[in-house]
Amino acid sequence: AWAEAAAALAPTGLLATAGLGAAAGLAGASPLARAMPAAGLWLGLGLLGLAAGAAAAARSASPARFLALTGIGLAALLAGGMLDSLSLVREAATRGAELRAALAQHLALAGGALALALALALPLGLLALAQPRLEAVLMALANGVQVVPSLALFGLLMPLLSGAVALWPGLRGWGIGGIGAAPAVLGIAAYLLLPLAGSLLAGLRLAPPELLDAARGQGMTPHQILLRLRLPLGLGVLMGGLRLAAVQAMGLGTLAALIGGGGLGALVFQGIGQFATDLILLGVLPLAGLSLLLDAALATAQSALERRA
């Protein structure tokens, strides 16, 4: 615990030094002046994060505590105004409402795609467990989607959804159209089928054949075997697939901005178009932070389930 606290203090101290240095450098300058951190700050923060992650992996531990402590340190610096002179913080303050809206849109896109993929992967995976031919078709489709570039898949979905809306105009009332969130959610969900369905089938097959035969010999039904044996033994693997899919959904959600889906990607591409580094970072850093926190939380849950199994 002390080592993790010390590791979390390192990036906090580095940010505090940058903030104090920026404030000193801008003393007496125009209120509109701002200081942009150089590449060394981001490189240093990246190296500290990699070192903390490697240390956690060496101890087979989750980096959740390190991330939580670092987040607390960052929140304290922001609350104390120590980072107010940095250009990124000023950009965030100026675009606060836009940033919050983009964050909400991104979470809705990623969450909706993950929920849709789960709604498809769970029943199809359970059917494929008993039907080898269905499993072959399901995994072939899921693997086939992975080789299609994401923008190409979004592009294919756009005319299909536009045609569906032309045939059934009522779909527009549900928010479905050729552009926007609908093709983004469908496209992202298609990419999530492979990790979810693959981990589901792998987890449900962890139960030893001898144990399954003994359960059948005791008169247990397939439903009881699924709930009492297969699922408890395979929860760790299932959580691993969910962890991969959740982080993948967060990353792919960035491309939704290219087809009018909004999200943090809108800030990133807007910054690229304007050659505005602060605006790019304003979209990238929350996305990276959310992905790391989500991965750490699910990794902690996965480790707990594997220890119980």
CA-to-CA distance for 74 and 292, rounded, in angstroms? Answer: 15
Distance (Å, whole) CA 253 – CA 154: 12
The DSSP call for residue 226 is: I
C-alpha to C-alpha distance for 45 and 223, rounded to whole angstroms: 50
Rg (CA), the chain: 23
Please choose, from the candidates 243, 242, 236, the residue with its C-alpha nearest in 3D space to the C-alpha of residue 293. Answer: 243
147: alpha, beta or left? (left if phi > 0; alpha if psi -120 to 50):
alpha
**pLDDT of the residue at 243:** 93
CA angle (38 as vertex; 292, 29 as ends), nearest 5: 120
Helix (H) or strand (E) holding 196: helix 181-204
Report CA 133 to chain centroid distance, whole Å: 32
Amino acid 303 reads S
Kindly list the distances between the CA atom of residue 303 and the CA atoms of 53, 179, 247, in Å, as whole numbers in the listed order: 16, 40, 17
Short-list 280, 203, 198, CA closest to 234: 203
CATH class of the domain comprising 96-308: mainly alpha
Q: How far apart are CA 172 and CA 174, in angstroms?
A: 5
For the chain, which residues make up each domain, given as ranges? Answer: 2-94, 96-308
Sequential DSSP letters for 275-303: T-HHHHHHHHHHHHHHHHHHHHHHHHHHH
Q: For the chain of 309 residues, list the mean pLDDT of each consecutive stretch of 10.
A: 70 86 76 73 82 70 72 88 86 89 94 95 90 89 90 88 84 79 92 94 89 88 88 88 94 91 91 87 91 87 76
Q: Are 126 and 201 in contact (CB under 8 A)?
A: no
Supply 152's token pair. 């190409």
The letter for the amino acid at 235 is: L
pLDDT score at 309: 61
pTM: 0.85
pLDDT in the model for residue 51: 77
